[in-house]
Structure 1
Amino acid sequence: MSSGDKGDKVKDLQARLKQLDWYEPKIDGVYGAKTVSAVKGFQGKREIPVTGEVDQRTLDRLTAMTRKPTTDELNNVVAKPKPSSMNLDDRCLQGRVVCISKKQRKLALVVDGTIQMSMDVRFGSELTPTRNGVFSVGWKSRNHVSKLYGSKMPYALFFSGGQAVHYSSDFAARGYNGSSHGCVNVRNKEKVAALFDAVSVGDKVVVYTG
């Protein structure tokens, strides 16, 4: 595939690039300048010759790192939020709290015991675990990049040293097959962006096992 191409294959390409946070516009099936730029970025990051065209090597690498796009993704349909059945820790029931359950793999913004929004999350590995406890949001960084690992951490809400809630393109692509270095990863960019805007520095954060 290359500039000027159109059709379902280009839609699939754009959707997969979007999963990895390389392509931002709506999926339209047109291989234009923004698609070329996204492909070049992906190729450069993976040390593939940067041409802006999708050869077999580029396609194989992209396919291996992503999942098959859903019909909704291919047609720019945003899923309606489902009611949450998250079990809240008692420490989450008063005031404004970012409530995070490891067992349920869920994060919820809770105000006076009522869930305002919720999202799927994943955590650190056994070697770099996410700390349990009661914390508060120390600072926010919308376009953060890790100084330690060089990875993008958009919409970062730091609550315990270098540990933060943030969007993860790796979580979006690989799901629970991967893990973080201790941060709380969110795979839905729209939801974590909304959380970032809703949360203030000083808001309580509760991380618990149950």
Structure 2
Amino acid sequence: MRNLGRRTAVTAGIASLVVPLTVIATSTTASAASCTTRTGPHQRQVEKFLGLTVDGKQSPSDCTAIRAFQRKHLIKPDIGYAGPVTWGVMDLMNKQKAVGKQPNKAGKCPVNKGRIACVNLTLQISWIQDGKKLVYGPVPVRTGRNGAETRTGAKKIYHRNIKHWSTIYKVWMPYSQFFDGGQAFHSVDKSVWSPPGSGGCVNMRKSEAKAYWSLLKKGDDVYVYGRKPGT
């Protein structure tokens, strides 16, 4: 009876180890299965952007690369599908890169204000200029989503807080520089390309928000123009 009890205990112990391994295997299989085999409407553009073989046909390696991009920039669903949202982010990145060091080439941000922070909602970029001289940028930004748009027009920085806590969104807003109501420049710890957008603020990467903090001061001008895609 003692031997039988011992064998039963050992068998039960082995079973308890097998179950978690089965669950892990099932979970891994489900994760792999979530990578779509479907060819998206923007397959060729996405393949070219990511440096993949441009054949317009979805492959396992295509899906893996597309899904990695989607996860980095919080694009949902992150199943590796070359759809309009994913391509929209990539297309915006291409347009931002094409601006180079001439963000105010069209002259839409005032050059008669001295030092001013400019925000182009259409291209989702911002920069600081002094007259016609480019001081810093351009840098990619994330502005207000549909229904919470970043307001356009001439503004001024009226309040600065290096470690602001948002009582609305319950998040930290480091390097906050407010220029219109509750709207401010501030850093975020997520991708500035992640859709659909902010709650109205101009989100920036930490290093660039820090640079804005050092270059701007209370009373400096801000000018916002254009229209964010999708709003």
The separation in 1 between residues aligned to 2:187 and 2:196, in whole angstroms, is: 14
Mapping for residues 1-210 of structure 1, pairs under 5 Å: 66=72, 84-87=101-104, 88-118=107-137, 119-172=139-192, 175-186=193-204, 188-209=205-226
Query: Structure 1 pair 144/92, CA: closer, same or farther in 2 (3 Å)?
Result: farther
How far 1:93 moved relative to its partner?
A: 4.5
Aligned residues: 131
Query: d(CA) in 2 for partners of 1:92 and 1:153?
Result: 29
Identity %: 27
Separation in 2, partners of 1:128, 1:96: 27
Whether contact under 8 Å (2:109, 2:223) holds in the other structure is no
Q: Separation in 2 of the partners of 1:149 and 1:164?
A: 14
Bigger CA radius of gyration = 2
TM-aligned CA distance change 1:92 to 1:145, over 3 Å: farther
Q: How big is each residue's C-alpha offset from its partner over 1:125-144, in whole Å with a ceiling of 9 and x where there is no partner? A: 11111000100000111111
Distance 1:84 1:205 in 2: 19
Task: After TM superposition, give the deviation of residue 96 of structure 1 in Å.
Answer: 0.8
Regions of 4+ moved over 6 Å? none
Counterpart of 1:162, as a letter, is G
- Structure 1 position 83, deviation (Å): 5.0
* Alpha-carbon distance in structure 2 between the residues aligned to 1:178 and 1:126: 8
Residues 164-194 of structure 1: CA distance to partner in whole angstroms, max 9, x if unpaired?
011111235xx232410000111x2112101
List runs of 5+ in structure 1 lacking aligned partners: 1-63, 68-81
Counterpart contact for 1:94–1:113, Cα < 8 Å? no
Asked if structure 1 preserves the Cα contact closer than 8 Å seen for 2:156 and 2:179, the reply is yes
Q: d(CA) in 1 for partners of 2:111 and 2:161?
A: 24
By how many angstroms is 1:114 displaced? 0.9
* Paired residues of 2:109 and 2:118 also in contact (CA < 8 A): no
Please list every run of 5 or more consecutive structure 2 residues that lacks an aligned counterpart in the other structure: 1-69, 74-98
Q: After TM superposition, give the deviation of residue 105 of structure 1 in Å.
A: 1.2
Distance in 1, matches of 2:127 and 2:161, equals: 20
Checking the alignment, whether the CA contact within 8 Å between 1:93 and 1:110 is kept in structure 2 is: no
Which of the two has greater helix per residue? 2
Query: Offset of 1:98 from its aligned partner?
Result: 0.5
